């Protein structure tokens, strides 16, 4: 901060605040203390502590003397094929879930915006998957996909789409895609409700004007709806990307990273290294790598939010 700006700031409160405001400083500090403790205690301290741990070869849960390795844990990660394989899988999971959720979310949002009988019912039903805890969702899909008595096998064989019961979580590629399906099923409603909210802010006169000008429904959608939805879509994209990138719980419940590590995402890999193999230094470094990726998305998100205002 430049000197001049700092001084300007110093003067600013006196101009705005009533006299005596500055004497309230200590009170304000006391009032803020609890939230400061919370912020430092559960956000900043763990962040710094993880960074610190990531620089040491910590191989036990207990405090003790561990050798300093500098960036060794980070370099180790970059050298391991398992790390890159996990990153690739995470990228695939993130891209496919986010895209599917946005496309399906737009379609669903448009449907929920149309007036029809029983719309309130559909609106409440649609939100259900999102309201379900992830662990429950994962367990439910495990049952649906069960090779012996799963509902999906029953449905598909009875419709003669597949000739016999098959295994859905037994091969790496198929299992990864099934986890994508489970995640899309759960998170699409969120996207749909974002879209629905945005749709309701688009004034009707725009469509009427377009109609008068001879535009059809498709033309209206692409020339009015979609451009006006863009800021919302971008926000969904960024939010979901951040969420999907750190996916852990649904994997833990559905596949535990298997088969053959085929669903091991970067967050799950981190967990295994840290807690199952007790390589806490390495795990902390991996956690930081994830945090950096998320930070990158978060910066994009903040920038988009700032200029995301739509004017009609």
Partner 1 sequence: MSIDAKSEGRRRLSRREFLELGAAGTSLLLLAGCGGEQGGGSGTLNALFMKQAAYSETDVKNMTEQFQKQNPGIKVNLTFVAYEALHDKIVAAAPAGTYDTILVDVIWPAEFASKKMIVDITDRFPESERSKIFAGGLKTTEYDSRYYGVPWILDTKYFFYNKKMLGEAGVNPPDTWDAAVEAARTLKSKGVVEYPLMWSWTQAEALICDYATLLGAYGGQFFDGSGKPAFNTGGGLQALEFMRMTLDEKLSNPASMESIEDEVRRIISQGEAAMALNWTYMFALANDPNESQVAGQIDIAHTPKGPAGAPGVNGSMGMAIANGSQNQDAAWKYIQFMTSQKIQNQYAKLSLPIWKSSYNQEQVVQALPEVVPVAKEQLNDMILRPVVTQYNSVSHTLQVQIQQALTGDKSPKQALDDAAKAVAETQQS
73 binds partner 1 (CB under 8 A): yes
**Of 6-14, 70-78, 100-108, 110-118: span binding partner 1 (CB under 8 A):** 70-78
143 binds partner 1 (CB under 8 A): no
Q: In the set 72, 132, 202, 249, which binds partner 1 (CB under 8 A)?
A: 72
Encode 106-127: b = buried (16+ Cβ within 10 Å), e = exposed.
bebbbebbeeeeeeeeeeeebe
Q: In the set 50, 96, 113, 171, which binds partner 1 (CB under 8 A)?
A: 171
**Of 48-56, 118-126, 187-195, 201-209: span binding partner 1 (CB under 8 A):** 48-56
Least distance CB 151 / partner 1 (angstroms)? 15
Lookup: tokens for 99: 């895209």
Least distance CB 242 / partner 1 (angstroms)? 25
Q: In the set 43, 256, 296, 299, which binds partner 1 (CB under 8 A)?
A: 256
68 binds partner 1 (CB under 8 A): yes
- SS3 assignment, position 56: strand
Encode 142-159: b = buried (16+ Cβ within 10 Å), e = exposed.
bebbbeeebebbeebeee
DSSP code at position 1? -
66 binds partner 1 (CB under 8 A): yes
**Of 88-96, 183-191, 219-227, 251-259: span binding partner 1 (CB under 8 A):** 251-259
* Spatial contact of 104 and 193, defined as CB atoms under 8 Å apart: no
* Spatial contact of 238 and 304, defined as CB atoms under 8 Å apart: yes
Q: In the set 176, 179, 250, 272, which binds partner 1 (CB under 8 A)?
A: 272
Lookup: tokens for 287: 């956690």
Residue with Cβ nearer partner 1 (98 or 255): 255
How far is 296 from 185, CA to CA, in rounded Å? 27
Which own/partner contact pairs does 199-204 have at CB distance under 8 Å and 24+ positions apart? 199/109, 199/110, 199/113, 199/225, 199/229, 200/113, 201/310, 202/228, 202/312, 203/312
- SS3 assignment, position 20: coil
48 binds partner 1 (CB under 8 A): yes
* Spatial contact of 229 and 308, defined as CB atoms under 8 Å apart: no
Least distance CB 298 / partner 1 (angstroms)? 24
3-state SS, one letter per residue, for 279-291: CHHHHHHHHHHHH
Residue with Cβ nearer partner 1 (41 or 203): 41
Residue with Cβ nearer partner 1 (61 or 299): 61
How far is 200 from 299, CA to CA, in rounded Å? 28
182 binds partner 1 (CB under 8 A): no
Residue with Cβ nearer partner 1 (158 or 276): 276
259 binds partner 1 (CB under 8 A): yes
Q: In the set 1, 16, 79, 120, which binds partner 1 (CB under 8 A)?
A: 79
166 binds partner 1 (CB under 8 A): yes
Residues 189-248 that bind partner 1 (CB under 8 A): none
Identify the H or E element spanning 131. Answer: helix 119-131
- The contact set with partner 1 (CB under 8 A) reads 41, 45, 48-49, 52, 56-57, 59-70, 72-73, 75-76, 79, 146-149, 166-167, 169-172, 175, 255-261, 271-272, 275-278, 282
């Amino acid at each position: 901060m430049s000197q001049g700006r700092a001084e300007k700031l110093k003067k600013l409160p006196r101009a705005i605040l009533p006299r005596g405001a500055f004497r309230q400083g200590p009170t304000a500090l006391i009032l803020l203390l609890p939230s400061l403790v919370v912020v430092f205690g559960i956000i900043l301290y763990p962040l710094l502590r993880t960074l610190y741990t990531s620089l040491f070869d910590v191989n036990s849960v207990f405090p003790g003397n561990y050798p300093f390795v500098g960036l060794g844990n980070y370099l180790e990660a970059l050298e391991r094929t398992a790390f890159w394989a996990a990153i690739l899988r995470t990228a695939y999971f993130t891209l496919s879930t986010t895209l599917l959720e946005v496309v399906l979310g737009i379609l669903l949002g448009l449907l929920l915006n149309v007036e029809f009988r029983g719309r309130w019912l559909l609106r409440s039903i649609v939100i259900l998957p999102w309201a379900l805890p992830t662990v429950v969702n994962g367990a439910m899909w495990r049952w649906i996909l069960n090779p012996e008595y799963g509902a999906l096998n029953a449905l598909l064989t009875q419709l003669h789409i597949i000739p016999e019961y098959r295994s859905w979580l037994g091969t790496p590629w198929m299992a990864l895609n099934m986890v994508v399906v489970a995640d899309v099923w759960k998170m699409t409603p969120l996207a749909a409700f974002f879209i629905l909210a945005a749709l309701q802010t688009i004034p009707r006169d725009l469509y009427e004007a377009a109609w008068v000008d001879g535009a059809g429904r498709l033309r209206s959608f692409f020339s009015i709806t979609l451009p006006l939805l863009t800021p919302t879509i971008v926000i969904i994209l960024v939010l979901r990307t951040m969420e999907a990138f750190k996916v852990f719980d649904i994997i833990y419940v559905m596949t535990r990273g298997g088969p053959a590590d085929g669903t091991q995402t970067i967050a799950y890999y981190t967990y295994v290294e840290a807690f199952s193999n007790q390589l806490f230094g390495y795990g902390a470094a991996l956690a930081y790598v994830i945090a950096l990726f998320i930070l990158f998305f978060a910066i994009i998100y903040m920038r988009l939010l700032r200029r995301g205002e739509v004017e009609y």
